[in-house]
Amino acid sequence: MRPHIALLHPPSLFDFRELKPRHGLATATVASSPVFEYYPLGFLTLLEYLERHSFDVRIFNLAVKVARSRRFDARKAVRKLEPMVFGVDLHWLVHADGALQLARICKEEHPGVPVLFGGLSASYYHRELIQSPHVDYILRGDSTEQPLADLLRALQSGDEPVAVPNLVWKRDGQVVENPFSYQPELLDVRIDYRRTIRHILRYRDLRGNLLTGYQWPAYAFNMTLFCRGCLMNCLTCGGTNWALGRSKLGVRDPEILADEILSTQELTPHGVGVPGDIRQHEPDRLIDALRRRKPTRPLSFELSGPGGEEFLRELASIGPPLDIHMSPESHDEELRRRYGRGYGNERLEADLDFILRAGGKAFLFFLIGIPGQTRASVMESVDYAERLLEHHNARYPGKLDANISPPLPFIDPGSLAFERPEETGYRLFARSLAEHRKLMRQPDLRDVLNFETDTLSRAEIIDVAGEAMERMIGVRERCGLLKGKWADRERARVLEAASGGRA
């Protein structure tokens, strides 16, 4: 069957085997290979929305294929696809080079098939991107489900896509920017893993369709979507309300979200992650909707700051043991405030006590590369994490985990740090898409970073990251949180990047 659209996820670099980049540190804490093979969650919302509106969709994760097999021929694979449109994601900027290489391959193999780009980085760089002869359309914004269906209808009927909101396109070589008018407050999106499974069976392609396909089944999780345009405004994040130019948070109906979470839990033994702090929108309604459905498997919630006993009790009343992710960023409360999170360690530690006493577990993330942060301060954050991990895991084995990393390799375009570097304490090494493509092709991670801070240079960030991350691996091993080949793998990535290839 000829799909209406093939959604292609590119590797960060196609020729990484020849280039031999030492970028492993960049993915050491996110369980991804250095080609960044996770496709954006938007692929799953697009799959569901488009199929619900009678379109055929093919998801093809080229990054997983390229990473797993030296013999995989991306050009041959693209040649075999015959969609009405190719959809390439440029969501995370690390794919700047791979996405444009992929667009070129699509055009060379199928000159008559239009190539569409989407994702947050594609939206930010739409004016630069549309200049490429290999790019025909760009759909801007965080919500492109309905505009994409409109575009497919226009293409089917041979009409000019003049009425498709958020679309950037070309008419006789001239760029046309349709109004950026679609940014819904109530999101008509769903993630339906049943569809994903049907998709896997239809195309006999397991790893190419699972979010965690590269390492599956050793590592697997399910994500859901709570909101778009987070209200938190962390300095380096490009997914914030401010960065997206939203006037309001994009939210979902709590009953639909609760149904989705439960049906996901019925399909798979793995936990379901709910990213984005649910306190941003009617938490009581979601908690109540979940409680009524009596989930039995773990649900992991991300909180942007301490919840306090009353809220944590409410979360615990849903049923499964609490599983909370928090990012205090630093042990230093002033640095934490500077990054956008104004709370003290006392409240954080009170939350940990409550969560662990209640039989739950927690994960803490610390950040390297906050303006004003020095090498000594980074190491004090590791000391702080070590104290917490040793103290709590002695009493509640395996229940408190933590990690530390810089935002690698790029701070997000559109973020406060990217738009106001001097005011926020950053210095940038690249602004344009072309400059970021060039950075991605540097072999040494020290030359890839698009930023440094007022207190740490790029080289210092990587050096201190290597040291801090290696120490964290040791702490986590001692606390029984990291074992065997996983510890070896993380250590190898850290050492490779930290040595600049001299190891």
Taking CB under 6 A as the rule, does residue 230 contact ligand SF4? yes
Q: How far apart are CA 180 and CA 161, in angstroms?
A: 14
Taking CB under 6 A as the rule, does residue 417 contact ligand SF4? no
Instruction: Find the part of the chain contacting ligand SF4 (CB under 6 A) among 86-94, 129-137, 145-153, 235-243.
Output: 235-243
Angle value at C-alpha 62, between 56 and 64, nearest 5 degrees:
120
Instruction: Find the part of the chain contacting ligand SF4 (CB under 6 A) among 22-30, 43-51, 60-68, 232-240.
Output: 232-240
Nearer to ligand SF4, 143 or 240 (CB): 240
Instruction: Find the part of the chain contacting ligand SF4 (CB under 6 A) among 45-53, 108-116, 228-236, 362-370.
Output: 228-236
Smallest separation (angstroms) from ligand SF4 to the CB of 4: 31
80: how many CB neighbours lie within 10 A of its CB?
Answer: 8
DSSP label at 230? B
Nearer to ligand SF4, 237 or 378 (CB): 237
Smallest separation (angstroms) from ligand SF4 to the CB of 234: 3
Taking CB under 6 A as the rule, does residue 239 contact ligand SF4? yes
Half-sphere exposure of 453 (CA within 13 A, CB side): 23
Hey, which residues between 286 and 315 contact ligand SF4 (CB under 6 A)? 304
DSSP for 116-183, written as a single string: EEESHHHHHTHHHHTTSTT--EEE-SS--HHHHHHHHHHHHHT---TT-TTEEEEETTEEEE------
Taking CB under 6 A as the rule, does residue 232 contact ligand SF4? yes
DSSP label at 96? H
Nearer to ligand SF4, 115 or 362 (CB): 362
Nearer to ligand SF4, 365 or 486 (CB): 365
Judged by CB under 6 A, the residue of 215, 233, 268, 345 near ligand SF4 is 233
Q: Tokens 């994702």 map to which residue?
A: 119
Smallest separation (angstroms) from ligand SF4 to the CB of 277: 7
User: Pick from 268, 260, 257, 252: which is nearest to 210 by CA?
Assistant: 268
Residue 410 · residue 238 · CB < 8 Å: no
Smallest separation (angstroms) from ligand SF4 to the CB of 149: 26
Q: How far apart are CA 382 and CA 183, in angstroms?
A: 40
**Quick check: helix, strand or coil at residue 59?**
strand
Taking CB under 6 A as the rule, does residue 280 contact ligand SF4? no
- Backbone phi and psi for residue 480, each to the nearest 5 degrees, phi listed first: 75, 20
Smallest separation (angstroms) from ligand SF4 to the CB of 414: 11
Smallest separation (angstroms) from ligand SF4 to the CB of 223: 13
Nearer to ligand SF4, 98 or 229 (CB): 229
Q: How far apart are CA 501 and CA 503, in angstroms?
A: 5
Instruction: Find the part of the chain contacting ligand SF4 (CB under 6 A) among 183-191, 229-237, 352-360, 447-455.
Output: 229-237
- Backbone phi and psi for residue 76, each to the nearest 5 degrees, phi listed first: -65, -40
Instruction: Find the part of the chain contacting ligand SF4 (CB under 6 A) among 9-17, 31-39, 226-234, 489-497.
Output: 226-234
Beta bridge partners of 302: 325
Taking CB under 6 A as the rule, does residue 234 contact ligand SF4? yes
Structure tokens at 487: 């510890």
Nearer to ligand SF4, 303 or 498 (CB): 303
Taking CB under 6 A as the rule, does residue 240 contact ligand SF4? yes
464: amino acid identity, one letter: V
Helix and strand numbers (H, E) in the chain are 21, 17
Beta bridge partners of 88: 8, 117
Nearer to ligand SF4, 312 or 416 (CB): 416
Task: State the number of binding residues for ligand SF4 (CB under 6 A).
Answer: 9
Smallest separation (angstroms) from ligand SF4 to the CB of 361: 20
Q: State the residues that interact with ligand SF4 by CB under 6 A.
A: 230, 232-234, 237, 239-240, 276, 304
